[in-house]
A and B are shown apart, each in its own frame.
Chain A
Amino acid sequence: MTGKELPASNIADLQSLLRRREISPREVLDVLRARIEDVDGKIDAYLSTDFEATAKQAEKADVDLLLGGVPIAIKDIISVAGQPCTCASKILQGYRAPYDATVIRKLRAAGAIPFGKTNMDEFAMGSSTENSGLKLTRNPWDLSRVPGGSSGGSAAAVAADEAFAGLGTDTGGSIRQPASFSGVVGLKPTYGRVSRFGLVAFASSLDQVGPLTKTVRDAGLIMNAIAGHDPQDSTCLNAPVPDYTAALGRDLRGIRLGLPKEYMIEGIDPQVKSAIDAAIAQFETLGAEIVDVSLPQTDYAIAVYYILATAEASANLARFDGVRYGHRAENPKDLLDHYGRTREEGFGPEVKRRIILGTYVLSSGYYDAYYLRAQKVRELIRQDFAKAFKKVDALISPTSPVPAFKLGERTDDPLQMYLADIFTSPANLAGICGISVPCGFAESDGHRLPIGLQLLGKALDEARILQIAHAYEQSTDWHKARPPIAASMRNG
């Protein structure tokens, strides 16, 4: 394998090279650095990289550890000691994390190297990464389109072969939807499966950290490193951690997959629909049984999600007050002027919009009508899933009703942007796990645009959806396709 081909490797293949001592962790990091210098001017997936400190880590890396010597890109909302953590917001420009998040500590313990921070929608609020206050990330399959969001930087970096894998966060689809738009694998673990200590909070009852990878197996490998109890996060589940790769390779005989009839809505792109239909037929060929199920409250999910997520965000973002860290307005005349201008100057439009909405739905006189009612409908949505999982092992749907849209196409209409989360946000409300895997392409203006298939599993059933996703992935070639930017660079 040459230096030009290496960046296209998945983690498992990279590890066999490392463990056979055909390449050193330091050489891997150097190749990756060259690759980023080559392509990131076109993609803009990264907000910062730190190759100097990480080169020293690479020299000491033990390649026989779980992820020994594997560089991993980190969404810029997760604290990596000594590296910037901006959440793609001007309010945190210049801020450096003074400590490692638990997921980073666990990655380091497994030998992985967190070397750089990826772009995102500001504070993870968005579905296209266009809400970044710092730069615009492009979809490697078509540079005029968005990579999805909010973990768009991690998704685009993995797709463009400028990362072997990345970490993202998923509050309403922010791992799965960019995975779908960018043609990679993205796993949202069960709420509480992965520690959030050191993750900058957006919506605390919904946020979860998870991997974006080139293959389903790689997602399992990263889960093996990051899942598990953390006494420093009181919402983190104290449940045993299985080997997430153990069931990979088992066939699908006896597996029952539910098709929620409410997910077959008008407005699904016909090319997405036909890719999903073909995937369903493929699952039947593989021995799975397809069962019709109903999730009657689906139509309410987006409304519930945007009330609860903005309410929680308005409380969480109160900490950005310009006192202990972050931007502070110049020469405030009094304390109210200090707060009001610091936050006006630091936050971008979508964050401001959500703070206003969240403050409103929590305010006196409106709390019961919006926030409390939304929490009750959330419980009904949770019950929908509980009933469905009595009949089936996993649910199957498109990850997004449409493939990647054009940059700027939806920025003027927040409600349209919110509706992009229609198939992903219910899983966050119900706390269950979900994965997006590539399942085909749509053709548009001479570009191939990836389509993602979503599998949802019940709480703590990550091993099962990984097994199902892996069986599908290995029976298709979708995961082997590379975007034009990857191919041209490798031949160049």
Chain B
Amino acid sequence: MAKGSDLDVAYVAKLARLNLSDAETELFQKQLGHVLNYADKLRGVDVSDVEAAAHAIPIFNVFREDEPRDWFTAEEALSNAPRQANGLFIVTKVVE
């Protein structure tokens, strides 16, 4: 397992699309370093024959009929939109 010091908070923040101030970056670097050092104890566990548990109580193959149902109207779907017009979400420009 990698050492906690491998964590580069500024780089990971870019991956997470989350701006951080310099002060936050520095603070999180220190605090999460402690957390990752604590998590290093998992290196001591023998997991060679263990299957990973994604869920504690596995359920497989949950299907339903693919049928239309009554759900939101466009107006309801837009009711919390930060910006909207003509029944559409107005988004930040994504193409030049």
Contact = CB atoms under 8 A, between A and B. Distances in A.
B17 to A, nearest CB: 4
* Residue from B53, B82, B89 with most neighbouring chain A CB atoms (10 Å): B53
A328 B43 CA distance: 41
Contacts of A370: 1-2, 39, 42
B37 to A, nearest CB: 9
* Residue from A99, A235, A341, A377 with most neighbouring chain B CB atoms (10 Å): A377
For the complex of A and B, 10 pairs with smallest distance between CB atoms: A431-B56, A325-B80, A375-B52, A328-B82, A340-B19, A376-B47, A344-B19, A379-B53, A339-B17, A234-B62
B50 interface: yes
Interface residues of A, number: 74
Given A192-B59, A326-B80, A366 B2 contact: yes
Interface in B31-80: 31-32, 34-36, 38-39, 41-43, 45, 47, 50-57, 59, 62, 64, 72, 76-77, 79-80
A49 interface: no
Given A303-B41, A349-B24, A326 B82 contact: yes
A299 B41 contact: yes
Interface string B19-31: 1110010001001
Interface in A302-325: 302-304, 306-307, 314, 318, 321-325
Interface in A135-190: 190
A458 B91 CA distance: 48
The main secondary structure of chain A at its interface with chain B is: helix
A105 to B, nearest CB: 14
A379 B42 CA distance: 13
Contacts of B56: 191, 205, 378, 382, 429-432, 459
A265 to B, nearest CB: 15
A355 to B, nearest CB: 5
Interface in A342-383: 343-344, 347, 349, 352-353, 355-357, 359-360, 363, 365-366, 369-370, 372-380, 382
A205 to B, nearest CB: 5
5 contacts: A303-B41, A328-B83, A336-B17, A373-B47, A377-B50
Interface in A328-342: 328, 332, 334-336, 338-341
A459 B42 contact: no
Contacts of A365: 2
A408 interface: no
A37 B1 CA distance: 53
B18 A324 contact: no
Contacts of A300: 41-42, 45
Question: Which range holds the interface residue count of chain B?
Answer: 35 or more
A36 B2 CA distance: 51
Contacts of A314: 16
Contacts of A297: 45
Nearest to B52: A375
Given A234-B62, A352-B28, A376-B52, A190 B42 contact: no
B79 A98 contact: yes
A359 B72 CA distance: 32
B16 A415 contact: no
Contacts of A336: 17
Given A360-B7, A379-B50, A353 B31 contact: yes
A234 B62 CA distance: 6
Given A323-B89, A335-B94, A369-B2, A379 B51 contact: yes
Nearest to A81: B76
A376 B17 contact: no
Contact of A352 (B24, B52, B77): B24
A205 B55 contact: yes
Contact of B39 (A190, A306, A318, A347): A306
A369 B47 contact: no
Contact of A235 (B6, B18, B59): B59
Interface in A225-256: 231, 234-235, 237
Contacts of B24: 349, 352
A380 B18 contact: no
Given A323-B82, A344-B19, 5 more contacts: A360-B12, A372-B52, A373-B47, A376-B50, A459-B56
B15 interface: yes
A324 B72 CA distance: 14
Interface string A88-101: 00000011101100
